[in-house]
Amino acid sequence: MAKILAVGEIAGGVLRKASRETTSVGKKLGSVSTVLIGSGAAAGAAEVAKHGADTVYVGEIATYNGEAYAKAIADLVKAKGYEVVILPHSWIGRDISARIATLLNTGVISDAVDISMDGDRVKIRKPVYSGKAFVSLKVKASPQVVTIRPNAHPIAESAGAGAVENITVDAGAAKAKQVKFEAKSGSRVSLTEADIVVSGGRGIKGPENFPLIEQLADILGAGVGATRAVVDAGWCDHTLQIGQTGQTVSPKLYVAVGISGAIQHMAGMGSSKYIVAINKDADAPIFKVSTYGIVDDLFNVLPPLKEELKAALGK
């Protein structure tokens, strides 16, 4: 049975959904332990253990430092002999996975939407060509480092209660020093953790109409996204960009409003379970990947849609 180390994410004592996913995936593959590094890391240990972690390693650090995180995790892999390291394909996972692989003299396979063991080797399935195709890859290097796409993997429950061990995270030894950290405030769910995402494209015509996207998202309890064209035009914050040069999401439901479906955008949302597209152009590429489509002007569709949803959801 393979020895798996799952990397979780926690900040201010709040465990992120990605921690449950990496631990659950690790449990499916073999014997899994989880490492949590961040502020209030100890608070998430018991929750992670519920998803199958035999041991939870806890490292307290006040602020994020990728160099320190990677060093602590790589040292743990070497000391305990872990064969596979699984990280979320989040901004933290993307930052530290390559650092960990470098310290372990191995490589990384990123953005896996499916993962299994083939003998003693990890086999993954991931999108390529901006989501137009999928490939299956087998990791030959050892240890094997893999990032998994958020929301693309089931979360399992376990009756176990893993042991907790403290590890040292030495931010003082890192060459890079954090100068400033600005947290984005807001009550909406994180894009990468959202079960529902509502995104707006160039069809909204201007920044004055972006609140229509936000209002629909608030009714559904969804995350808010946008295409690169909308972000580049300054109609919304760049942190909302979904696509090849933005965030990758994999929600249960993706609502594309006024989005034509450029390949760069679909690379960031193509693995969504259900896609609903609203566009007045019947030939828009987004309809080729959508589960349901509404061919009409979004300004005709959104007002009655919002009222129907509010009535159905009791809002």
Query: Where is the binding site, in residues?
Result: 202, 227-228, 241-245, 258-265, 279
Query: Three-state DSSP class for 151?
Result: coil
Burial 85-123 (b: 16+ CB within 10 A, else e): bbbbbbebbbebbbbbbebbebebbbbbbebebeeebbb
Strand partners, 146: 86, 109
Tell me which DSSP letter residue 12 carries.
T
Owner of token pair 């002007």: 297
Q: Which two tokens stand for residue 43?
A: 């608070």
Helix axes 91-103, 66-80, angle to 10 degrees: 50
Tell me which DSSP letter residue 242 carries.
B
Q: Which two tokens stand for residue 82?
A: 């872990």
Distance separating alpha carbons of residues 225 and 232, to the nearest angstrom:
13
Residue ranges for the binding site for FAD? 202, 227-228, 241-245, 258-265, 279
Query: Could you give the strand order of the β-sheet that contains 108-112, starting from the edge strand earlier in sequence?
Result: 108-112, 144-148, 84-88, 2-7, 30-38, 55-60, 163-166
CB atoms within 10 A of CB 31: 16
Helix (H) or strand (E) holding 196: strand 196-200
Query: Three-state DSSP class for 286?
Result: helix
Distance separating alpha carbons of residues 232 and 291, to the nearest angstrom:
28
Owner of token pair 């990605």: 18
